[in-house]
Structure 1
Amino acid sequence: MTEPTILHAIFTARPEQGDNVAALLRDFAEIVRAEEGNVVFDATRLVDDPDRFFVYEVYRDEAAFHAHLAAPAGVPFNEALQQLIVEPSSILTFLRRI
């Protein structure tokens, strides 16, 4: 049985950019959720710090994750996000089910 690819991403909006990050992420989430190999794409804001974002992603397998990375919407999303967040890019943590 093939293992799913599971990860989470965290990032922090620059001052005054939280709502712009949320809007960008909302639009991107709709695109990712329509990808054939996507199982979960939950984009959230921290309640106690709404400039901090947490995205939980599950893809059917590694091939589906690589297809997600190669999808046309990813590059413009990441370029736009990079301008709106404090970090140089999303901080990714890969996970494995137990």
Structure 2
Amino acid sequence: MVDVKSSRDGIVVTAFWETKPEEVGAVLEILKRFLPQAQREPGVKTFEIHQSLTEPAKFFFYEVFRDEAAFGAHQQSEHFRTLIQGEALPKLAKRERAQHKFV
């Protein structure tokens, strides 16, 4: 039986990325390297990245962290700093992020 309360605890982060048109392939490869590492972080409950079927330069992230501390640790991880901040972000035309809570 699933503990409904514990599955709805935590902080939800969503992000929308749009790459520069010439950088779609490079960003996709970076995200393929990054995703398994992010999913293994101890404070991560869910971490999924989606690419638009109709607009391949657009990506949607859905992330659930145990708490604010886990989200902070994620942003300080080596793979986030290297792959996201160092490699991916310079290839983006647009980036939006928002934090949410469960209702």
Smaller-chain TM-score bracket? 0.7 to 0.9
Asked if the contact 2:11/2:102 (under 8 Å) is kept, the reply is no
Of 63, 72, 79, the match for 1:57: 63
How high is the TM-score relative to the length of structure 2? 0.84
Shift of 1:11: 1.0
Structure 1 equivalent of residue 100 of structure 2: 95
Query: Does 2:91 correspond to 1:84?
Result: yes
> What letter matches 1:30 in structure 2?
P
How high is the TM-score relative to the length of structure 1? 0.88
When the two structures are aligned, how many residues end up with a matched partner? 96
Quote the RMSD (CA, aligned, Å). Answer: 1.6
More strand by share: 2
More helix by share: 2
Would you identify which runs of 4 or more consecutive aligned residues in structure 1 move more than 4 Å?
Answer: none
Shift of 1:54: 0.5
Asked if the contact 1:26/1:43 (under 8 Å) is kept, the reply is no
- Unaligned stretches of 5+ in structure 2? none
Identity %: 24
> What letter matches 1:46 in structure 2?
S
Larger Rg over CA atoms? 2
